[in-house]
Chains A and B, each alone.
Chain A
Amino acid sequence: MIELKNVTKKYNDITALKNFSLQIPEGILQVLLGPSGCGKSTVIKLINHLIEPTSGEIYINNKNINEFNLINLRRGIGYVIQSIGLFPHYNVYENIVIVPRLLKWTKNDIDRRVDYLLDLVGLNRNYKKKYPFELSGGEGQRVGVARALAADPPILLMDEPFGSVDPLNRERLQKEFYRIQRELKKTVLFVTHDVEEAIRLADNIAVMKPGQLASLGSPWDFVTDDKEDYVKEFLGSEYTLKLLTRFMVQDILVQEKIKSKGYIHGFQVKKENTLSSALSLMISKGIDSLEVIDEQEKIVGSITFEDILKNVFRDTRK
């Protein structure tokens, strides 16, 4: 568990963070969402002690971070930033094994770990000998994630990790990272300014305004109207629609064929598409139901507008 208590950070005359408090329970993916320059990155750098708070305390597992050995603290926290953080003079293998080597793991353990990590992040094992400049943005980012996970740290800090990747690859990376996090149950603090990214990944979202926490809750909590104007404005009026990108068609799939009411019009959607794309198709074709197909293009069920209404927002509408 990570806990920040009344943390203030000043750079000369500028206050980057003011009385900031946040608790991140174990195994949770916490997204820190806010416009650029609001102090998001400051929060991350405070946790792995790259910078010192002006006042306030930071605890990891109820132990003040000042009581940790600085080097050990950092080796126990994975850190991912935009792809430039890879060392250009090390190849993929060497980049991943930095921390295990610093921790003096045996060669065998390291090799096994690298293979495991490359599989985990979905990179071919023959990438080991490649250098960062030979990788695409998305591949570089996968290596970045693998490097952060190398020594199996319980905590991951990610500062706009997919910021420099093109939209298509970003979506793919987000999906895979979501899967990895759910599989490994790491405690993650993920910083971004992209609302959709926050929705896709977060267990919890903390919205920041300059230097301060504006609002905190699960992605569903932000659908309600009781948030302050700043938060509503930042999230945008289409927040609810964006929330649909978090779900895939298969999440709310009704396992039966379309029965009556003249539904048979032949418009189909893949089951791993997002709900927002399903909705978009419905609107564009002027219909309220779709057939759902799987990878083999076999019809596996159907989805209706009502299903979306009922299932996605049932928790929020009380």
Chain B
Amino acid sequence: MKKIKQPFFIVTALLFAFFLISILRFDIIENVLVLLVKPKSFFLARVSLVEIAKQHIFIVIISSSLSIIIALTIAILTRFPFMSDFEEFLLGLATFGQTIPTVAILALLVPFLGYGFKPALFALFVYGFLPVLRNTIEGFNTIPEEIRESARAMGMNRFQIITRVELPLALPAILAGIRISLILNISVATIGATVGLSGFGTLIVNGIRGDDTIMILKGAIPVSLLALAVESLFIILEKRFRLSAISE
């Protein structure tokens, strides 16, 4: 395996550290902010950022694991003859689905599922599902036909071709899909505040409504750090597997 440059690790570690500091000791940041922003009035709410972070991360993890598992299963099933006809349809659906705005889906679900956790979970699931499905199918499709043919000609069965050839070769694309899905989900979970999901978004929305800059930043800073940390972690993972797929 070729080594990944050290700065990547350092940046990722720092981002996670900053995220933890921002939720554990926001008072430090708050003191600096108060000096900088000089807010007219602000409400030092006794909200526990740790509690909010837990809720935010919880829904992202639940919905993402669900969507990753289901999307991978469906994408892998399209490699089998009885499902292969659906591949193009699913790809089209995933592409079309991604053009529908996130808030629109969230809002549309409210009449059916009510406010709060349920519509948010469903919207997060759908938005996490589409990129993984799309990237996995496209990852499979970029594998040259010759490689698949060699595998068949060597007497590998369908299952062996998928596990030993197709999945390892599509792995970087799949990881990219998971990264997009996670980042999108962190974002949708923030916007979820508009349909009553509690998370960092709640602080931002309440801050906007109450014209309280400190409260806005109390939500915005940690969630931004979280997103950046996850992104850079996955960029490392992708690089690691892209390298090992070619040159380990």
* A interface residues, Cβ below 8 angstroms from B: 48, 50, 71-75, 77, 79, 81-82, 84-89, 91, 98-99, 102, 131, 133-134, 147, 157
Contact = CB atoms under 8 A, between A and B. Distances in A.
Given A131-B246, A133-B247, A87 B150 contact: yes
Indicate the member of B144, B151, B153 with the most A CB atoms within 10 Å: B153
B246 A98 contact: no
Interface in B152-176: 152-157, 160, 165, 168-169
B141 to A, nearest CB: 16
Interface in B124-156: 144, 146-147, 149-156
Contacts of A134: 247
Contact of B246 (A50, A74, A85, A89): A89
Interface of B: 144, 146-147, 149-157, 160, 165, 168-169, 244-248
A99 B156 CA distance: 8
B160 A85 contact: no
Contacts of A91: 248
B154 A133 contact: no
A75 B154 contact: yes
A157 B155 CA distance: 14
Lowest 6 A-B CB distances belong to which pairs?
Answer: A75-B155, A74-B155, A85-B150, A79-B153, A89-B245, A84-B146
Contacts of B248: 91, 131
Nearest to B241: A89
* Most A C-beta atoms less than 10 A away, residue of B150, B155, B160, B165: B155
23 contacts: A50-B152, A71-B155, A73-B155, A79-B154, A81-B146, A82-B146, A84-B146, A85-B149, A85-B150, A87-B147, A87-B151, A87-B169, A88-B246, A89-B169, A89-B244, A98-B154, A99-B154, A99-B155, A102-B154, A102-B155, A131-B246, A131-B247, A147-B154
B246 A81 contact: no
Nearest to B149: A50
Given A82-B146, A102-B160, A88 B155 contact: no
A133 B157 contact: no
A157 B153 CA distance: 10
A62 B127 CA distance: 57
A71 B150 contact: no
Contacts of B160: 102
A81 B149 contact: yes
B245 A88 contact: yes
Which residue, of A77, A81, A89, has the highest number of chain B Cβ atoms within 10 A?
Answer: A89
Contacts of B247: 131, 133-134
B172 to A, nearest CB: 10
Nearest to A157: B153
Contacts of A75: 154-155
B152 A74 contact: yes
Contacts of A102: 154-156, 160
A72 B147 CA distance: 19
Contacts of B153: 48, 50, 74, 77, 79, 157
B246 A72 contact: no
Contact of A79 (B150, B165, B245): B150
B243 to A, nearest CB: 10
Nearest to A48: B153
A84 B154 contact: no
B168 to A, nearest CB: 5
Contacts of A157: 153
B241 to A, nearest CB: 10
A147 B150 CA distance: 10
B191 to A, nearest CB: 39
